[in-house]
Structure 1
Amino acid sequence: MSLHVYRFGPQTGRAIVAVHGLKGYGGRWRVFAEEQLSDFQVIAPDLRGHGLSPGEPPWTLEQHAQDVLDVLDRHGLGQAPVLGHSLGATVAVYLARLAPERVDRLVLLDPGMALPGPLAERRARDALYVPTFDNPEEAVAERARFWPREAHRLVREEVANHLGCGSDRRWRWRYSVPAAVTAYSELARPAVTPPAHIPTLLAVAGRHDAANPSYPDACRRVLNRFAVVELDCGHHIHLERPVEAGRLIRDFLAEAASGPPVPDEAR
């Protein structure tokens, strides 16, 4: 099974693989890629059960990681940095564990790790409710209510590319409900860290509870080169704080492999 893939930026640019979060799609990276990572070729797949990718199970973290590894193979990437948000950041860690020789470094934006059982169950139950709309304008209004103000300029593109009309003439976001419900069970599994040798930047949203508060310390104990930054924002770091997130990512990717680790910061 092949994932649907978006590509942004110059084909001759350094490649970076960007993995979206739960219920999202690869095209959500477009504006961030073009405005903040303009020198990079950003390869952004739709995860299994999301966007235009096939939706059949399994929907385990291991399978998502294998799917993204297949994307690296299809694009001839022997090794590349991997950027992930939320579920995508967790998948990036599993990819690094599956094929550590293929991941140059990791950028993890508010990964979902070791969600407490009651929280994961509540969110899985919530995911059983599927919002439907009479028309795309209703979806525009709904997304604008829940997205940060800084991301409102992206709403119409999201609706144009990530909303589909079913046989009942109702409009829905393009993701598999069973895949979304299953994802919360997967995110409740014990936290795992990247392999020790892979330089890792962890950005944590100060106003959200996706990232387990013990995860930075777990990474510090294992990783040779690790940095954590806490940003005063909600879960969608790259949408809410794109300029700052872009600077952090560019600086981290520009570091020499043998250079000093990025110091911990708090904002």
Structure 2
Amino acid sequence: MKLNSYHIGSADAPALIIIHGLFGSASNFRSLAKIYSEDFSVTCLDLRNHGASPHDDDVSFDAMAADVVEFMDDHGIPRAHIMGHSLGGKVAMQLALTHPDRIDKLIIGDIAPITYPHHHDRIFEGLQAVRAARLTSRKEAEAILAEYVQIPQVRLFLMTNMVRGEDQVFDWRINVDGLQQNYAELAKAPTGTPFTGKSCFIRGEMSDYVKETTYDVIKQLFPQAEIVTLKGAGHWLHAEKPQEYVRLTLDFLKKD
């Protein structure tokens, strides 16, 4: 699986690989990548089934972690700092638990190594409804999506995945069918041998993705983990509090 990527920064700098969340893409972190590029060689990846990367119905964490390793091998990156948000955080955790020799420091954004309940069903229904309507108007697409997704910011985020076909009809560039049919794999917890390297788990104060009840599980798999709460942030902490998120992550990456 050859992943699409966006790179910025000097090739001589330490490598930092950033992995987006479900329904996202490499472009989600472009503005932050520009800041990180002052100190790091930054690569933002499109996970399989997302962005401009190929589609495959195998959405297991082992497969997605292997994609990252393949990317690193193809681009001569023996080790890198790895940053992942949400689903990307689970992929980053899986990478650390199965390929610890490829990771310098690990940063996980608002996700824990646990199995989560299905909570994207309405989003998938909305994506399928837009597809079925065969629309040529973004305004009409958003109107349909609004019946399923009430939060405007989430709708706009999802609509970054809209692309026109040759007939000018909008469709989704993400593998909607594959992700929906295999969602149970995405909900699972990453597994493997505990990662003894340095890691930082950042939770949003207003988010319920990383509750205090998950701290023990985090520490079991990531015994050196720092768990930090970003004040005033929800699940999209890097977008909601970008300055604070960058300051926190750079402090972690640069210390020692």
Q: Contact (CA 8 Å) 2:61, 2:190: kept in 1 or not?
A: no
Alignment pair present for 1:42 and 2:39: no
Partner of 1:210: 209
Partner of 1:265: none
Alignment pair present for 1:146 and 2:145: no
Q: Contact (CA 8 Å) 1:105, 1:199: kept in 2 or not?
A: yes
Q: CA deviation at 1:63?
A: 0.4
Partner of 2:120: 123
Alignment pair present for 1:109 and 2:106: no
The CA RMSD over aligned residues, in Å, is 2.9
Q: CA deviation at 1:79?
A: 0.8
| Rounded Cα–Cα distance in structure 1 between residues aligned with 2:139 and 2:10 | 33
Structure 1 residues 39 and 136: alpha-carbon distance in aligned structure 2, compared to 1, 3 A threshold: farther
Aligned ranges 1:183-262 → 2 under 5 Å: 184-190=183-189, 192=191, 195-211=194-210, 213-231=212-230, 232-256=232-256
Aligned ranges 1:11-22 → 2 under 5 Å: 11-22=11-22
Structure 1 residues 193 and 139: alpha-carbon distance in aligned structure 2, compared to 1, 3 A threshold: farther
Structure 1 residues 73 and 254: alpha-carbon distance in aligned structure 2, compared to 1, 3 A threshold: same
Q: Letter of the 1:147 partner, please give it.
A: Q
Alignment pair present for 1:55 and 2:55: yes
Structure 1 residues 43 and 168: alpha-carbon distance in aligned structure 2, compared to 1, 3 A threshold: same
Q: Contact (CA 8 Å) 1:124, 1:180: kept in 2 or not?
A: no
Q: Contact (CA 8 Å) 1:114, 1:212: kept in 2 or not?
A: no
Q: Contact (CA 8 Å) 2:113, 2:218: kept in 1 or not?
A: no
For structure 2, list consecutive stretches of 5 or more residues without a partner in the other structure.
none
> When the two structures are superposed, what TM-score results if normalisation uses the length of structure 1?
0.79
Structure 1 residues 26 and 249: alpha-carbon distance in aligned structure 2, compared to 1, 3 A threshold: same
Structure 1 residues 194 and 240: alpha-carbon distance in aligned structure 2, compared to 1, 3 A threshold: farther
Structure 1 residues 75 and 182: alpha-carbon distance in aligned structure 2, compared to 1, 3 A threshold: farther
Q: Letter of the 2:120 partner, please give it.
A: R
Q: Letter of the 1:134 partner, please give it.
A: T
Q: Contact (CA 8 Å) 1:113, 1:212: kept in 2 or not?
A: no
Q: Contact (CA 8 Å) 1:194, 1:223: kept in 2 or not?
A: no
Structure 1 residues 114 and 171: alpha-carbon distance in aligned structure 2, compared to 1, 3 A threshold: same
Partner of 2:136: 134
> When the two structures are superposed, what TM-score results if normalisation uses the length of structure 2?
0.82
3-state secondary structure, aligned to 2:68: helix
Q: Letter of the 1:102 partner, please give it.
A: R
Q: Contact (CA 8 Å) 2:8, 2:37: kept in 1 or not?
A: no
Q: CA deviation at 1:223?
A: 3.4
- Percentage identity across paired residues of the two chains: 29
